[in-house]
């Protein structure tokens, strides 16, 4: 089995992150999976955004939780990346699902529940309801830095796959694995390399964010289940050289 390539916030290295044009670029490149982040707006809409604030990636300011969908749609999510992408909007989860459907995407959709700083009340139930629109031939994968979010989501939809994200500390992830709540780990690639990739053999390993050629080669030679990268097109070329067509 080849190591799968998951596009981190879309083709984040070549397009404005977490925008429809970024996800489209990743699909066009041939990525095996799409990774993105979901939060809740002031009026309870499922918003695709990594940071709790929109300041870094758009021309406006404020927290996602303090802004309505209409207010968020006024933000330009492309101009800070490049003037070429001026006018790109912050998408909703529904809009991303529709994009996947239009492209007949059949890979993995990894949705990170961004609840590690703000525990959006009821977000798991809302996400589960929205995911009913996801085609059956798309593999659904939930992840979070917040173990409580994983526990809540697992109770709502025990049939889905769950992964624990972590950067330095693995204690909570080990506990989730011990209780059979996750089947995979998503560690920081630097953390992973420093510890020589020693993990429980029953867990799938998908490191992030694997952008350098050196780290890509390392992961492909280790034959990890998948990598998260900002450069899916580049990763596909490197994988071809290491693991073949």
Instruction: For tokens 């009340």, name the residue.
Output: 121
Where would I find the H helices in 53-188? 69-73, 93-102, 123-130, 147-156, 171-178
Taking all residues of the chain, what is their mean pLDDT, rounded to a whole number?
A: 95
Q: Specify whether 186 is catalytic.
A: no
pLDDT for the residue numbered 171 = 81
Tell me whether residue 52 is exposed, middle or buried, using C-beta atoms within 10 angstroms of its C-beta: 0 to 12, 13 to 18, 19 or more. Answer: middle
pLDDT for the residue numbered 1 = 86
Residue 129: which of 152, 161, 157 has the closest Cα?
157
Reading the block at residue 181, the tokens are: 């709540």
Average pLDDT (220-237) is 97
Tell me the fold of 4-51+91-243: TIM Barrel (3.20.20)
pLDDT for the residue numbered 73 = 98
Residue 16: which of 66, 50, 60 has the closest Cα?
50
DSSP structure class, residue 112: E
Average pLDDT (33-55) is 98
User: Would the pTM of this model clear 0.75, i.e. be above it?
Assistant: yes
CB neighbour burial string for 183-216, b if at least 16 within 10 angstroms, e if fewer: bbbbbebeebbeeeeebeeebbbbbbbbbeeebb
Q: Say which of 50, 117, 139, 180 is annotated catalytic.
A: 50
CB-CB contact of 120 with 65 (8 Å):
yes
* pLDDT tens readout for residues 146-205: 999 999 999 999 999 999 887 666 788 888 888 889 999 999 999 889 876 566 668 899
Instruction: For tokens 């870094």, name the residue.
Output: 56
Tell me whether residue 31 is exposed, middle or buried, using C-beta atoms within 10 angstroms of its C-beta: 0 to 12, 13 to 18, 19 or more. Answer: buried
pLDDT for the residue numbered 198 = 61
Rounded distance between C-alpha atoms, residue 192 and residue 201, angstroms: 14
Rounded distance between C-alpha atoms, residue 200 and residue 196, angstroms: 13
Q: Specify whether 50 is catalytic.
A: yes
Give residue limits of the domains in the chain. Answer: 4-51+91-243
Average pLDDT (19-43) is 98
Q: Say which of 8, 139, 180, 186 is annotated catalytic.
A: 8
Percent of the chain at pLDDT > 90 equals 86
The answer for residues whose C-beta is within 8 angstroms of residue 198's C-beta and 6 or more apart is: none
Pairing between strand 204-205 and 161-166?
A: unpaired
Rounded distance between C-alpha atoms, residue 84 and residue 93, angstroms: 24
pLDDT for the residue numbered 51 = 98
pLDDT for the residue numbered 233 = 98
Reading the block at residue 5, the tokens are: 């390539």
Residue 234: which of 19, 26, 24, 34 has the closest Cα?
26
pLDDT for the residue numbered 111 = 98
pLDDT for the residue numbered 144 = 95
| Helix, strand, or coil (residue 167) | coil
Rounded distance between C-alpha atoms, residue 70 and residue 82, angstroms: 23
* pLDDT tens readout for residues 55-96: 999 999 999 999 999 999 999 999 999 999 999 999 999 999
């Amino acid at each position: 089995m080849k190591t799968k390539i998951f596009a981190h916030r879309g083709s984040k290295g070549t397009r404005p992150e977490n925008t429809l044009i970024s996800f489209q670029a990743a699909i066009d490149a041939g990525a095996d999976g799409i990774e993105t982040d979901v939060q809740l707006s002031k009026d309870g809409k499922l918003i695709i955004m990594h940071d709790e604030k929109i300041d870094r990636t758009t021309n406006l300011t404020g927290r996602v939780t303090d802004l309505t969908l209409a207010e968020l749609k006024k933000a330009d999510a492309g101009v800070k990346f490049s003037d070429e992408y001026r006018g790109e909007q912050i998408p909703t989860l529904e809009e991303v699902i529709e994009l996947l459907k239009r492209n007949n995407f059949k890979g993995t959709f990894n949705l990170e529940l961004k609840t590690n700083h703000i525990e959006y009340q009821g977000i798991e139930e809302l996400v589960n309801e929205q995911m009913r629109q996801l085609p059956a031939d798309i593999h659904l994968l939930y992840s979070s830095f917040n173990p409580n979010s994983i526990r809540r989501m697992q109770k709502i939809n025990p049939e889905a796959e769950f992964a624990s994200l972590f950067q330095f500390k693995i204690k909570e992830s080990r506990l989730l694995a011990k209780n059979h709540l996750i089947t995979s780990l998503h560690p920081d690639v630097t953390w992973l390399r420093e510890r020589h990739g020693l993990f429980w053999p029953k867990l799938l390993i998908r490191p992030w964010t694997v952008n350098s050629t050196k780290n890509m080669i390392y992961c492909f030679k280790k034959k990890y289940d998948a990598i998260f990268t900002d450069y899916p097109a580049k990763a596909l070329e490197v994988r071809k050289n290491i693991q073949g067509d």
